[in-house]
Structure 1
Amino acid sequence: MRSPSTPCAAHRGGRRRLLAAAGLVAALALTATACGGATDDTADGDPGAAASASGAADGADGGVAIPGDIKDRLKEHGIDVDAWKDGGWKDWDRDKWLSEAKDFVNPVIEGLWEPERMLSAQEADKTMSVQEAAADQGVSDPAPAPVEAEAERTPYHRNAAPVGKIFFDSPEGSMVCSGTVIKDVNHPGRSNLVWTAGHCVHAGGGGGWYRNIVFVPAYNDLGRSEAELTGAAPQEIAPYGNWWADWAATSNGWIEGGSASGGSGAAYDYAVLHVQPEQGAKSLEETVGAALDVDFSAPAAAEAGQMGAWGYPAAPPYNGLRMFKCLDAPGRLSLSPSLPTMYRIGCTMTGGSSGGGWFRVVDGEAKLVSNTSIGPLDNTWLAGPQLGQDARALYENMSETYGGQ
């Protein structure tokens, strides 16, 4: 899913490097060996025995019980919890489409995101015309030459462990985006935070929060084809299980200015999720064995050096089953003189890659510096927001307020 153009662990034995630069920063390689779970040939998707999701606890009948505070928040908006879990979430009545930052509620519906449902989810492509992309050519650099997306090596848990796929429900149906496990400064080694795009969690000025938001790290770990995944066991598609967002935060700029084609919110199109496992007790970082720092210095494009973008493109010619990456030196994209300049790189990834992290090397360590937001109709480049002080404040509030939950 994208916006304006194509809005598309604790270390053990000291052996793990989450991101490594190869050859004078000419290429970025996401490298990680997962902390227990997946192997080269198989993936153990059982991160633990205790059920824990969105603050959920075991019910008397062995099912998942939604905590009282979440029930109360739903009831405030006239939503019956049982009806919601039985399919009421499909009701997109304007009065029940929660939109304000304080309104996010995402109760776990265990078993909802089964492999077949994941396979049927579509990219929610947001594209802009060439004319729209050229709105402020006085500041924008010339459009970059296309860079052909390169398939990431499998298994993903060894080559790109922090990267995963995000699933959610919208009025148009089940949708997909990409996301990245990031470090939690207040809870080192135990992060439950995921970075993605704002339009992957909230519809912007025309709507509200999406529903049933789930993060699946190292989705389709072995990069198998659709035919090979027919009848696949859940752990083959989700080696580390499903991680439900029990809280989400995106910028006011996206909530107020985001639109079906990105709009003025594109420059603020970023979000942070706090997640908990549908099954299990360990943190996301401990389970996956990987998490990345975020660089909020917002360097100018000319000073940023080479960047790499990772994600799961789902619109043709891709099908969302495999992870891809693009490496390029960024230029500037300005949608309006009144908006912050965005980064832009050449890349042929399509919708579904939205929200996927962009990485650059800082002092010898690769860090997340942006995320895929928008791209053109011809899928020749991607653009992402600069992450400055507003993005840092959103991240720090998420870490301080929800990180320890």
Structure 2
Amino acid sequence: MSPISRPSRAVLGASVAALTMVVATACGPDNSDPSGAATGAPTVAASASASGKPGAAPIKLPTVEELKTWKLDDWDKWAQANVVTPAVKGYWTLQKLLNAKPKPLPQAPAQDPTQAPAQPTSAAPAQPTAQPTGAQPPAGPDQLPAMVPAKPVAHPFPKNMHVNGKIFFKDGNEDYVCSGTVISDPEHPGKSNLVWTASHCLHGGKGNKYYTDITFAPAFNSNGVLSGAGRQQAKVEDAEPYGEWGATAGMVSPQWTAEADPEKGGPWSQYDFGIIKVANPDGSAKSLEETVGGSVPLWFNAPRDQLAAVSNYGFPEGKPFDGAELEHCDGGKPSKKTGDPSRPAMLLIGCNMTGGSSGGGWYATKDGKPALVSDTSIGNGANTYEAGPYLEDVAQHMFDYFAKKAK
């Protein structure tokens, strides 16, 4: 498959893009309908930690139950604390792309008493089935899976793999890289400009703010030009067949901005998901979904017993990987990683991917088609597993709200 010619970069604007949104509530099979919630939801104001604006009022962190019941005004107030500075035209040269550091996977505690001993890493990797089935019981809670070795996607990428890409961003003076996925937008069917990733790829957590120059490069290195010894002679347009899609808006959960240590796993990891809206680099109205040829729908509140064959995708850069390949682990049926019992237990699969895979999409099969059920959030020092948040009502409310009103 020949790479598509790379569109020219365009100025995305120098002003900060703010979000003003309307929430669309939804309920999942395991949670009550939030429309009947109490009216005493917390007030959330813009904060220095979220917006970087000194002198702003601090966030009054809602409880998880309160967050599930947020209404229009609550999300509107929270949206004012979520602003993303559009990427600077021409910032990402090929050398900066190649030198960008992998954002480290936040590490689970060294001693995790809720986890059973790991199975031998020589165990055969779980093989996904073509269709999830409810006949299989869910994997035991808090049972560590066997390590599953990552496999690279062959070059050139199949067309359905072009929804996977790299997310580049600046944290202070350092350049970093994560992974992300083009997701479907029910507000704009067939014309999505939305990308799903991890919170720790967008925001620095407690006491910090949003990263800058956030940019998505779909189907990165699809043709393999950066693989092997020839990468220094490659051109940036060869590595990025669709160009660089700069973020114009973004959002992460309130729990992340108020609690998170982005280098460590913790209760905040159970809400380690984020979303950005991007703009076409050539300045046209053609959407990201139309450009790459597809998107992946989100599956919220997916019944755990139907997640029989989960695979995760990403661009790991920590050794022994080099960031040039789109890798995947076919993890089979996830087990649970329990943390804060008031929050949904994370999905856990065997995988040896490293930093740089953060934010990559986790796929399951729904009605015979791929659906996104999580994103890579945390790993462990031995690189034997990865865990991702279970996407329930809070994630769905945030997504519905963002999709409706992200500017």
TM category (shorter chain) comes to 0.7 to 0.9
1:170 aligns with 2:171: yes
Corresponding position of 1:183: 184
The TM-score, its normalising length taken from structure 1, stands at 0.75
Asked if the contact 1:153–1:159 (Cα under 8 Å) also holds between the matched residues in 2, the reply is: no
Deviation at 1:368, TM superposition (A): 0.4
Assess, with a 3 A threshold, how the Cα gap between structure 1 residues 69 and 386 changes in structure 2: closer, same or farther: closer
Match of 2:322 among 308, 319, 323: 319
In 1: Cα distance, 2:94 partner to 2:383 partner: 28
Residues matched between the structures, number: 332
Asked if the contact 2:17–2:249 (Cα under 8 Å) also holds between the matched residues in 1, the reply is: no
Corresponding position of 1:43: 4
Query: Which one is further off, 329-338 or 233-242?
Result: 329-338
1:309 aligns with 2:312: yes
Match of 1:123 among 87, 91, 102: 102
Deviation at 1:269, TM superposition (A): 0.3
In 2: Cα distance, 1:67 partner to 1:267 partner: 32
Match of 2:393 among 361, 381, 389: 389
1:337 aligns with 2:341: yes
Deviation at 1:94, TM superposition (A): 9.1
In 1: Cα distance, 2:386 partner to 2:9 partner: 40
Deviation at 1:109, TM superposition (A): 1.0
Match of 1:272 among 271, 275, 285: 275
Assess, with a 3 A threshold, how the Cα gap between structure 1 residues 68 and 367 changes in structure 2: closer, same or farther: closer
Asked if the contact 1:294–1:369 (Cα under 8 Å) also holds between the matched residues in 2, the reply is: yes
Asked if the contact 2:217–2:242 (Cα under 8 Å) also holds between the matched residues in 1, the reply is: yes
Deviation at 1:335, TM superposition (A): 2.1
Unpaired runs of at least 5, structure 2: 19-45, 60-77, 118-139
Asked if the contact 1:204–1:256 (Cα under 8 Å) also holds between the matched residues in 2, the reply is: yes
The TM-score, its normalising length taken from structure 2, stands at 0.75
In 2: Cα distance, 1:226 partner to 1:363 partner: 39
Corresponding position of 2:249: 247
In 1: Cα distance, 2:173 partner to 2:16 partner: 30
In 2: Cα distance, 1:44 partner to 1:376 partner: 39
In 2: Cα distance, 1:133 partner to 1:309 partner: 23
Asked if the contact 2:9–2:90 (Cα under 8 Å) also holds between the matched residues in 1, the reply is: no
Asked if the contact 1:51–1:278 (Cα under 8 Å) also holds between the matched residues in 2, the reply is: yes
Corresponding position of 1:256: 258
1:109 aligns with 2:88: yes
Asked if the contact 1:126–1:374 (Cα under 8 Å) also holds between the matched residues in 2, the reply is: yes
Asked if the contact 2:10–2:89 (Cα under 8 Å) also holds between the matched residues in 1, the reply is: no
Assess, with a 3 A threshold, how the Cα gap between structure 1 residues 382 and 44 changes in structure 2: closer, same or farther: same
Asked if the contact 2:251–2:274 (Cα under 8 Å) also holds between the matched residues in 1, the reply is: yes
Corresponding position of 2:130: none
Deviation at 1:96, TM superposition (A): 10
Q: Secondary structure at the match of 2:196?
A: strand
In 1: Cα distance, 2:250 partner to 2:17 partner: 16
Asked if the contact 1:128–1:375 (Cα under 8 Å) also holds between the matched residues in 2, the reply is: yes
Deviation at 1:140, TM superposition (A): 3.9
Q: What does 1:41-190 align with in structure 2 at a 5 Å threshold?
A: 41-46=2-7, 51=10, 53=12, 56=13, 66=14, 95=54, 102-128=81-107, 131-135=110-114, 140-156=141-157, 158-171=159-172, 173-190=174-191
Identical-pair percentage = 35
Spell out, residue by residue over 1:144-164, the C-alpha distance to the aligned partner (whole angstroms, 9 max, x if none): 000000101221252511100
In 1: Cα distance, 2:11 partner to 2:270 partner: 35
In 1: Cα distance, 2:371 partner to 2:89 partner: 33
The code of the aligned residue for 2:103 comes to: A
Q: Secondary structure at the match of 1:156?
A: coil
Corresponding position of 2:296: 292
Asked if the contact 2:105–2:354 (Cα under 8 Å) also holds between the matched residues in 1, the reply is: no
Corresponding position of 2:40: none
Asked if the contact 2:190–2:289 (Cα under 8 Å) also holds between the matched residues in 1, the reply is: yes
